[in-house]
Amino acid sequence: MRIASWNVNSIKIRLPNLLRWLKQAEPDVVVLQEIKCIESGFPTLEIEAAGYRCAVVGQKTYNGVAILSRHPFTVERRALPGEAEDEPARYIEAIVEPKGINGKRQIVRVAGIYFPNGNPAPGPKYDYKLAFMARFEAHARDLLAFEEPLVLGGDYNVIPEPEDVYNPQAWLTDALFLPTTRAAFRGLMNLGFTDAFRALHSEVAYTFWDYQAGAWAKDHGLRIDHLMLSPQAADRLVASGIDKKPRDWEKPSDHTPVWCELKL
DNA sequence: ATGGTAGGCGTCCTA
């Protein structure tokens, strides 16, 4: 079971790249962020033709998340607990149920999350980021109680450690790297989650390169897209990676996919 | 050198 996360920065612009990547990477489940459209504008037919069912939590112009899956799934949540109807579209959660081997039922719960950027900090946007992270942590704690394979994937907009940014000194006051942000992220991790990429890789690696200032050419990147695994998922982790190729294609997203493989 | 780029029901806002 291969599960991936990708901030596509507009599904309309990125559809050709998404279809190309689905074909070559063959993920079972993908969570997308920043689709930037409402559900009726989502290219469901094209993605279904590629073999994936879709669920969309849409929003015009900004944000928006989706889950794609080759296996049957049911959507469990379309927002975090306690969020209002008009809250930005940043969360989707589903239970994926692949065909069992020997008739054995095996499920994996997958959440797709688009955390607030939070800049400029301090300010109301940063306050919102921290409030979102607190709401998310409370829900993640509840989900852990199910003791099931669980993957929380998305654009966390958090640089966890200095080695996850090309120039930590330049990012000390940024909302993605402030001590308060990193502490909130650690609080979440310390509930018992495993970073699927870092668990298997010690090398420097990034998932995002800004469009500006030749960041991609100079490899000035950040690692801000993460797949967090519950203990039951971490026990099944056999591989993970960051697929840099799509960042080098025509009309790229500024993010590239992160993925993990679970032996269910 | 305080710039630069991308996307969107867009002449600004977000990232």
Name the closest nucleotide to A7, judged by C1' and CA.
Answer: B15
Name the closest nucleotide to A155, judged by C1' and CA.
Answer: B15
Instruction: Identify the weakest region by mean pLDDT among A100-109, A162-171, A174-183, A207-216.
Output: A100-109
**Residue A86 scores a pLDDT above 90:** no
**Residue A105 scores a pLDDT above 90:** no
pLDDT in tens, A130-171: 999 999 999 999 999 999 999 999 999 999 999 999 999 999
**Residue A8 scores a pLDDT above 80:** yes
Quick one: average pLDDT of A189-212? 98
Indicate if CB(A60) is under 7 A from strand B: yes
Percent of chain A whose pLDDT exceeds 90: 95
Indicate if CB(A213) is under 7 A from strand B: yes
- CATH code for the domain in which residue A179 is found: 3.60.10.10
User: Looking at the 3D structure of chain A, how many domains does it have?
Assistant: 1
Instruction: Identify the weakest region by mean pLDDT among A103-117, A140-154, A179-193, A223-237.
Output: A103-117
Q: How far is A193 from A199, CA to CA, in rounded Å?
A: 11
User: From the CA of A32, how many Å to the C1' of B1?
Assistant: 36
**Residue A103 scores a pLDDT above 90:** no
pLDDT given for residue A215 in this prediction: 97
List the single protein residue with the shortest CA to C1' distance from B7: A10
pLDDT given for residue A6 in this prediction: 98
**Residue A244 scores a pLDDT above 80:** yes
**Residue A70 scores a pLDDT above 90:** yes
Structural domain containing residue A150: 2-262
- pLDDT band with cut points at 50, 70 and 90 for residue A61: very high
Indicate if CB(A167) is under 7 A from strand B: no
**Residue A101 scores a pLDDT above 80:** no
**Residue A217 scores a pLDDT above 90:** yes
pLDDT given for residue A190 in this prediction: 98
User: From the CA of A170, how many Å to the C1' of B2?
Assistant: 13
